[in-house]
Chains A and B, each alone.
Chain A
Amino acid sequence: MNTVFKKSDPGREGVWPQKADKTAAEMLPQGLLRGKPAGLPSLSELDVVRHFTQLSRRNFGVDGNFYPLGSCTMKYNPKFTENVAALPGFTRLHPVLPQLKGAGRLCQGALEVMYETEQMLCEICGMSAFTLHPMAGAHGELTGVMIMAAYHKDKGNKKTKIICPDSAHGTNPASAAIAGYEVVNLPSKDGIVDPDELAKVLDDQVAGMMMTCPNTLGLFEKNLPKIVEMLRSVDALLYYDGANLNAIMGKMRVGDAGFDVVHLNLHKTFATPHGGGGPGAGPVGVSEKLVPYLPVSRVEKLEDGQFFLNYDFPKSIGYVAPFYGNFGVVLKAYAYILRLGGAGLTRATEAAVLAANYLRKRLDGVLEVPFDRICMHEFVATACKQTTCGVRALDIAKMLLDKGYHAPTIYFPLIVKEALMFEPTETESLDTLDQFADDLIALLEQSAADPEFAHNAPTTLPVTRLDETRAARSMELTDDL
């Protein structure tokens, strides 16, 4: 399909504002103006509408396709939250308004949304305070590690290292490194963190440890109480990567369990749409002792019920966002939590875990599951058995695309060879799970008999497999003029 630039026809009128009386050249010195036009396309409104409608048809999304992409929590995104985020009372609100003295009165509704969301996230996670500022999960991680660093600096602790289990999301070590820490990799045992292995790397230099629980294998970290105790003994902090909070909501609170810092992915657990890779939101919660280090500003409630932004926190790590985070995303999560309530959130967790275990059992014996026991909201299988006849995890993923399913996450976590990570989520019906299992089993049988069938997949989509080496070598990142 041609790019939108190739469809341009100079002279076509788009959505133009009225023409100014003067040109830029009449209003500004020549030396400040650009020498030649930028090269944006000229298109009619229908040209644009048709182009993007056709592009959209070349995409899978949750609304049209089952999307069991492990670790990404592709649950259904309720439509009413879009109406909430589109209310002009929110979309038209300028972010600097609360900075005009006394003008907090002009945005009480928005401040209340932020305050109430923080309160509810505190209750869901058992933390003392939350900030909504981080704009994505990885941004939450960075913010969380910066808070940990500020704590140690304030206490005069000389800490240089952060421990990350080998099952961790790659963002954990990357965030720790960007925050200035040396990363210590911790090998898992039987799929989970082993206290004996931890003891080997734990010393006074350790600032903290980043954990995902359940971890990226979908397994609960049952040695958690022991791990908490060990870290406490060297004044190291425990970080909870909230990517998998949807497996424990209502069943366990990370604060109660001993975690000091947590980031959440609102776009996962609280059902805001992923939008093709963003925007998300990554609020960070902390235990009592870390509250002074939270980013500024913080929203507070006065005795008269008015809300205001407080910037006066001398120990704060400062600003991690231009304003108060991805407010539009926070709104949707807030509406979702109100809709479900405490019991609804707990049932969402239960149904997610139920669905994952059901799918795991349905695929039992067809795909090998390396840690084959009760899982939480997702599980990791391996295509090792299939590789003996030349069918790899990648091939299985591509065959599924042909059947109209998005593929599971493949080749992650790194500690399982030929990994296929399934997360069905709570919003998929039993019929969908059954049909998916039946289709996957049939595909595996067909490809065992005819590996070429697998290697050629997909054949029904707008393109077949793409040459990624060529893309990386040629680095063609833009359309030619």
Chain B
Amino acid sequence: MPYVPHTPDDIRRMLGVIGAPSVEALFAEIGPDMRPKSFDLPEGKSEMAVLAQLEDLARKNAVNHVSFLGAGFYDHHIPSAVDALSMRSEFYTAYTPYQPEASQGTLQAIFEYQTAVTRLTGLPYANASVYDGGTALFEAAMMSVRHTDRRKLVVCEAVSPIYRVMLGSYTANLNLELVTIAHKDGNCDLAALTAALDDQTAAVLVQNPNFFGTLNDFSALFAAAKAKGVVSVISVYPVLQSVLKSPGEMGADVAVAEGQSLGLPLSFGGPYLGIMTCTKEMIRQMPGRMVGRTVDTQGRTGYVLTLQAREQHIRRQKATSNICSNQALCALRSLMHLCLLGEEGLKRTAEICIERAHYAAERLTAIPGVKLLSASPFGNEFAVSLPVNAYQAIDKLTNRGFVPGFPLGRYYPGLENALLVACTEKTSKEQIGVLAELLRGMLA
């Protein structure tokens, strides 16, 4: 039996010490009427056989297409050292750092992660992460509800629909009012957002870049929110934070992000990383774990889980959130990724992504009938309207080995012809050129 080391002799000896006649006797409390009605699973296999089976399944996935898919989840280069270091078993096979003296590695790494993400967002406090960017946005909304004791959330429709549907599910039982402010050609309607804020509003939720790739400076909106006692929540794309105005500079109260783009593979949807940062005023509302710096009995610097009294294992139903874990390994990977790139490397990554996307927009809009959805500035992703249904274009080009982008009609009725195109540093100018030619040929 793999992974169970007990020999028949061991088992006899153990039963002898326990004073039980058989292993089965240990399960005597599970009565005959409670035994499984069936347990029809395949027989075990060798390691080699399982690997071969999974390799076959992996081959059924088309991952060699040239892809312009983004929609908030991006295929960035991950430095090799991230894999090598994060696979060290001392990190990998540890549990939550409940015994700080035996977990300084994990704890210091989380402290450094907290430091790194606060520097990106420009807000002073961070937690040790939550599941993903959507959960982070929901938790940020709940922070604002607790902080203000108000029940209304004003959300920009250009915030990722992937996050907004999660927000809808989570708030369904919580007696909260979700007010969605329509986008205008992929732009946030700042005037309408501002007008929607009142003394019942807990938070205004926006995204930069938004789902359409459009960039904004939300300073004026956040100032208006502050004047009405409304919490400003912003979701950002951490790679671009190396060059874009930070949430802190805009006056945000809570900044969250999907951390996938920092050292995590796409892996068909997870595991990812929910980054959460906030101001000092909001820190008591922060859910999840946090690591703090302190000293040991000899005055040496050390790290511990802190502010645990807010958490579920102490507060039970009064906890700030039911979340009792963090994505520690994902947070560790993102920290390693940020350290390996450094300030300059992350800035270069952002600039090359933006440059490629701008080049792609130029090439695609040179095709008759293809237009940018909006004239607003964008970063590494942009929306174009096609003279045909976007699904049709995707279908045809996919057969040629190119996935040209994401069909915005999937979430935005009326935008059936709009295609969302993303570039990363892995997208070459040559690939962009081929995409443009294929699309031109298809539309001709």
- Asked if the two chains touch in their complex, CB atoms less than 8 Å apart, one says yes
Instruction: Determine if A138 and B324 form an interchain contact, defined as CB atoms under 8 angstroms apart.
Output: yes
Return A52 CB to nearest CB of chain B, in Å.
4
How many B residues face the partner with a CB closer than 8 A? 202
Given contacts A34-B122, A38-B241, A177-B322, 5 further A-B contacts (CB under 8 A): A136-B324, A222-B29, A276-B106, A397-B99, A468-B294
Partner of B271, one of A103, A329, A467: A329
Chain B residues, Cβ within 8 Å of A56:
85, 88, 90-91, 105
Q: Does A233 make an interface contact (CB < 8 A)?
A: no
Q: CB within 8 Å of A: which of B90-113?
A: 90-106, 108-109, 111-112
A-B contact count (CB 8 A): 690
Instruction: Determine if A61 and B89 form an interchain contact, defined as CB atoms under 8 angstroms apart.
Output: yes
Chain A residues, Cβ within 8 Å of B355:
20-22, 27
Check A112/B60 contact, CB under 8 A, given A34-B249, A253-B39, A477-B111: yes
Q: Does A156 make an interface contact (CB < 8 A)?
A: no
Partner of B14, one of A55, A67, A256, A430: A430
Closest 7 CB pairs of A and B: A89-B58, A323-B269, A275-B329, A341-B44, A109-B60, A342-B41, A59-B105
Q: Does B341 make an interface contact (CB < 8 A)?
A: yes
Instruction: Determine if B54 and A87 form an interchain contact, defined as CB atoms under 8 angstroms apart.
Output: yes
Chain B residues, Cβ within 8 Å of A86:
83
What separation, in Å, do the CA atoms of A75 and B3 have in the docked complex? 9
Chain B residues, Cβ within 8 Å of A40:
116, 119-120, 242, 338-339, 341-343, 346
Return B440 CB to nearest CB of chain A, in Å.
21
Instruction: Determine if B35 and A59 form an interchain contact, defined as CB atoms under 8 angstroms apart.
Output: no
Question: What are some 23 contacts across the A-B interface (CB < 8 A)?
Answer: A17-B348, A21-B355, A32-B217, A49-B84, A52-B336, A60-B102, A61-B94, A80-B47, A83-B51, A91-B266, A93-B63, A101-B394, A135-B132, A146-B169, A174-B321, A183-B316, A278-B329, A355-B6, A406-B95, A462-B104, A465-B101, A477-B118, A478-B124
**When each residue 343-383 of chain B gets 1 if its CB lies under 8 Å from chain A and 0 otherwise, what string results?**
11111111110110010000000000000000001010000
Instruction: Determine if A95 and B329 form an interchain contact, defined as CB atoms under 8 angstroms apart.
Output: no
Chain A residues, Cβ within 8 Å of B242:
34, 38, 40
Q: Which of B18-26, B194-202, B227-235 is near enough to bind chain A?
A: B18-26
**When each residue 314-351 of chain A gets 1 if its CB lies under 8 Å from chain B and 0 otherwise, what string results?**
00011111111111110100110111111111111011
Return A182 CB to nearest CB of chain B, in Å.
8
What separation, in Å, do the CA atoms of A255 and B267 have in the docked complex? 31
What separation, in Å, do the CA atoms of A53 and B342 have in the docked complex? 18
Chain A residues, Cβ within 8 Å of B100:
463, 466
Q: CB within 8 Å of B: which of A71-86?
A: 72, 74-78, 80, 82-86
What separation, in Å, do the CA atoms of A174 and B109 have in the docked complex? 28
Instruction: Determine if A274 and B101 form an interchain contact, defined as CB atoms under 8 angstroms apart.
Output: no
Q: Closest A-chain residue to B378, C-beta based?
A: A28
Q: Closest A-chain residue to B269, C-beta based?
A: A323
Instruction: Determine if A33 and B270 form an interchain contact, defined as CB atoms under 8 angstroms apart.
Output: no
Partner of A374, one of B26, B307, B347: B26
Q: Which of A1-9, A284-292, A383-391, A442-450 is near enough to bind chain B?
A: A1-9
Instruction: Determine if A62 and B93 form an interchain contact, defined as CB atoms under 8 angstroms apart.
Output: yes
Chain A residues, Cβ within 8 Å of B175:
180
- Which residue, of B45, B175, B302, has the highest number of chain A Cβ atoms within 10 A? B302
Instruction: Determine if B95 and A322 form an interchain contact, defined as CB atoms under 8 angstroms apart.
Output: no
Q: Which of B64-72, B148-156, B178-186 is near enough to bind chain A?
A: B64-72
Q: Does A234 make an interface contact (CB < 8 A)?
A: no
Instruction: Determine if A477 and B63 form an interchain contact, defined as CB atoms under 8 angstroms apart.
Output: no
What separation, in Å, do the CA atoms of A74 and B95 have in the docked complex? 8
Q: Does A358 make an interface contact (CB < 8 A)?
A: yes
Return B258 CB to nearest CB of chain A, in Å.
8
Q: Closest A-chain residue to B100, C-beta based?
A: A466
Check A59/B169 contact, CB under 8 A, given A4-B339, A110-B61: no
**When each residue 253-266 of chain B gets 1 if its CB lies under 8 Å from chain A and 0 otherwise, what string results?**
00000100000011
Q: Does B79 make an interface contact (CB < 8 A)?
A: yes
**When each residue 399-424 of chain B gets 1 if its CB lies under 8 Å from chain A and 0 otherwise, what string results?**
00001001100100000000000000
Chain A residues, Cβ within 8 Å of B292:
471-472, 474-477
Q: Does A417 make an interface contact (CB < 8 A)?
A: no
Q: Does A107 make an interface contact (CB < 8 A)?
A: yes
Instruction: Determine if A63 and B89 form an interchain contact, defined as CB atoms under 8 angstroms apart.
Output: yes
What separation, in Å, do the CA atoms of A274 and B96 have in the docked complex? 8
Return A365 CB to nearest CB of chain B, in Å.
13
What separation, in Å, do the CA atoms of A112 and B56 have in the docked complex? 11
Q: Does B386 make an interface contact (CB < 8 A)?
A: no
Q: Does B244 make an interface contact (CB < 8 A)?
A: yes
Q: Closest B-chain residue to A65, C-beta based?
A: B102
Instruction: Determine if A106 and B398 form an interchain contact, defined as CB atoms under 8 angstroms apart.
Output: yes
Instruction: Determine if A471 and B325 form an interchain contact, defined as CB atoms under 8 angstroms apart.
Output: no
Instruction: Determine if A136 and B325 form an interchain contact, defined as CB atoms under 8 angstroms apart.
Output: yes
Instruction: Determine if B61 and A108 form an interchain contact, defined as CB atoms under 8 angstroms apart.
Output: yes
Q: Closest B-chain residue to A351, C-beta based?
A: B4
What separation, in Å, do the CA atoms of A357 and B15 have in the docked complex? 9
Q: Does B296 make an interface contact (CB < 8 A)?
A: yes
Chain A residues, Cβ within 8 Å of B35:
251-252, 256
Q: CB within 8 Å of B: which of A454-481?
A: 458, 461-468, 470-472, 474-479, 481
What separation, in Å, do the CA atoms of A86 and B318 have in the docked complex? 40
Q: CB within 8 Å of B: which of A31-75?
A: 31-35, 37-43, 45, 48-49, 51-53, 55-65, 67, 69, 72, 74-75
Instruction: Determine if A463 and B14 form an interchain contact, defined as CB atoms under 8 angstroms apart.
Output: no
Partner of A337, one of B41, B112, B306, B319: B41
Instruction: Determine if B2 and A95 form an interchain contact, defined as CB atoms under 8 angstroms apart.
Output: no
Instruction: Determine if B108 and A55 form an interchain contact, defined as CB atoms under 8 angstroms apart.
Output: yes
Return B171 CB to nearest CB of chain A, in Å.
10
Chain A residues, Cβ within 8 Å of B46:
339
Return A311 CB to nearest CB of chain B, in Å.
10
Instruction: Determine if A106 and B65 form an interchain contact, defined as CB atoms under 8 angstroms apart.
Output: yes
Q: Closest A-chain residue to B64, C-beta based?
A: A92
What separation, in Å, do the CA atoms of A27 and B358 have in the docked complex? 8
Instruction: Determine if A112 and B6 form an interchain contact, defined as CB atoms under 8 angstroms apart.
Output: no
Q: Closest A-chain residue to B44, C-beta based?
A: A341
Q: CB within 8 Å of A: which of B184-231?
A: 215-217
Chain A residues, Cβ within 8 Å of B290:
477
Chain A residues, Cβ within 8 Å of B307:
472, 475
Instruction: Determine if A42 and B133 form an interchain contact, defined as CB atoms under 8 angstroms apart.
Output: no
What separation, in Å, do the CA atoms of A361 and B31 have in the docked complex? 24
Q: Does B384 make an interface contact (CB < 8 A)?
A: no
Chain A residues, Cβ within 8 Å of B13:
430
Return A265 CB to nearest CB of chain B, in Å.
10
Check A358/B75 contact, CB under 8 A, given A12-B342, A16-B344, A353-B26: no
